[in-house]
Amino acid sequence: MAEIKFYLEKRKDSATGEINEQNVPIILFYSFNGKRLQYYTGMRIDASKWDEENMKVSKGYADASEINRELGKLKSKVEDIHSKAKALDEELSVEYFRERLKGNGSTIKSKKNFSICLDEYYASSSLTKGAGTMRAIKSTFSILADFSESTGIKLEFKNITQDFYDALLDYCFNEKDYKNGYTGKLIKDLKAFLNWATERDYNTHLDFKKKSFKKLTEEPEIIFLTYDELLQLYNHKVDGIERLQQVRDVFCFGCFTGMRYSDILALKSENIQGDFIRYRVVKTGQSNMIPLNKYSKTIINRYKGKIGEKSLPVISEQNTNDYLKELFKKVKLNRKVQKVSFQGAKTTKITAPLSEIITFHISKKTFMTNFLAKGGSLLTAMSITGNKDFKTAKRYYKVVDSLKSDEMAKVFGM
**Residue ranges of domains in the chain:** 5-107, 114-209, 227-412
Q: At what angle do helices 114-125 and 180-199 cross, to 10 degrees?
A: 100
Q: How far is CA 368 from the centre of its chain?
A: 23
Q: Could you please report the per-residue DSSP string of 4-45? A: PEEEE---B-TTT-SBP-SSEEEEEEEEETTEEEEEEEEEEE
In angstroms, the CA 246 to CA 252 distance is 10
The terminus-to-terminus CA distance of the chain in angstroms comes to 78
In angstroms, the CA 204 to CA 111 distance is 11
237 Cβ neighbours under 8 A, 6+ residues apart: none
In angstroms, the CA 190 to CA 353 distance is 36
In this prediction, residue 107 carries a pLDDT of 43
Amino acid at 166: D
In this prediction, residue 244 carries a pLDDT of 95
Radius of gyration of the chain (CA): 31
Contacts 24+ apart (CB under 8 A), 16-23: 20/47, 21/46, 21/47, 21/48, 22/46, 22/47
**Would you write out the chain's pLDDT as a tens digit for each of its 414 residues?**
578 999 999 988 878 888 999 999 999 999 998 899 999 999 999 999 999 999 999 988 878 999 999 999 999 999 988 988 887 777 788 888 988 888 765 444 446 789 989 999 999 998 888 788 899 999 999 999 999 999 999 999 999 999 999 999 999 999 999 999 899 999 999 999 999 999 988 898 999 999 999 988 777 678 899 999 999 999 998 877 999 999 999 999 999 999 999 999 999 999 999 999 999 888 777 889 999 999 999 999 999 989 988 999 999 999 999 999 999 999 999 999 888 888 887 888 889 999 999 999 999 999 988 998 888 888 888 888 877 676 676 777 666 666 656 555 655 555
In a 3-state reduction of DSSP, which class is residue 324? Answer: helix
In a 3-state reduction of DSSP, which class is residue 380? Answer: helix
Report the topology of domain 227-412: hpI Integrase; Chain A (1.10.443)
Residue 188 exposed, middle or buried by CB count within 10 Å (0-12, 13-18, 19+)? middle
Q: At 40, give phi and psi (nearest 5°).
A: -70, 125
| 278, containing H or E segment | strand 276-280
Q: At 103, give phi and psi (nearest 5°).
A: 90, 15
Q: Could you please report the per-residue DSSP string of 80-115? A: HHHHHHHHTTPPP-HHHHHHHHTT-GGGSPPP--HH
